[in-house]
Structure 1
Amino acid sequence: MAEMTVDLVAVEQRLWSGKATLVSAQTTEGEIGIMPGHEPVLGQLVEAGVVAITSDEGERIVAAVHGGFLSVTANSVTVLAESAELASDIDVEEAKAVLARGGDDEEALAAAKGRLRAVERG
């Protein structure tokens, strides 16, 4: 089975690195799916988006990402996010509480929505 090297990196840490067969991400141009051998591309990630990775062992890794870039070559994908959280690490109740409180902090509200979307896709 064809595979590619994937690195999911946030400013503060590397969240996941390994071999994968599929990466999907939400970019400013729309959702993109990347498989091994994909044409090189550079994409801007949306604010409060979701990145999903299918590892070469069939494991699904989902992360909420907030801004950044996606860089693709024929055999590698690098996701460089301004901030990111793995769906498995997201506190769902906290994200729901942020949305319930509302308020004027649009960035916090968008990030909470992105976290919940990542958990739903995970």
Structure 2
Amino acid sequence: MALIVEVVSREHKVWKGEAKYVRARTLSGDIGIMPGHIPTMALLAENGELLIEPVQGEKILTNLQEGFLTVSNDRVTIAAKHAQVD
């Protein structure tokens, strides 16, 4: 079982794929998401990191600026004002 993750910014699609784990910085602190996570909606911190552990391949570390995150039925959508993959 895997998460379907999509990360977008105002400028472009940043990343889309299957992941085992996602961690993001929200206004309330860091949130970790694994398959089976309860439905969630959160505001992203003004400046923060997003870590994605894909099913295959290397970890992805992305810097985010503002936006929101939703989780529902093993789908994670992250929309940020700006996102950049390191």
| TM-score of the superposed pair, with normalisation by structure 2 | 0.96
Task: Return the structure number with greater helix share.
Answer: 1
d(CA) in 2 for partners of 1:35, 1:6 = 11
Give the partner amino acid of 2:21.
L
Which residue pairs with 2:69 in the alignment? 70
Same amino acid, percent of matched pairs: 38
Stretches of 4+ moved more than 2 A in 1?
none
Question: What is residue 15 of structure 1 aligned with on the other side?
Answer: 14
- The Cα RMSD (Å) is 0.8
Question: Which structure shows the bigger proportion of residues in strand conformation?
Answer: 2
- Stretches of structure 2 that go unaligned for 5 or more consecutive residues are none
Q: Deviations over 1:38-78 (max 9, x none)?
A: 00000000011100000001420110000000000131101
Scaled by the length of structure 1, the TM-score of the pair is 0.68
Unpaired segments ≥5 residues, structure 1: 88-122
* Superposition map of 1:1-122 within 5 A: 2-87=1-86
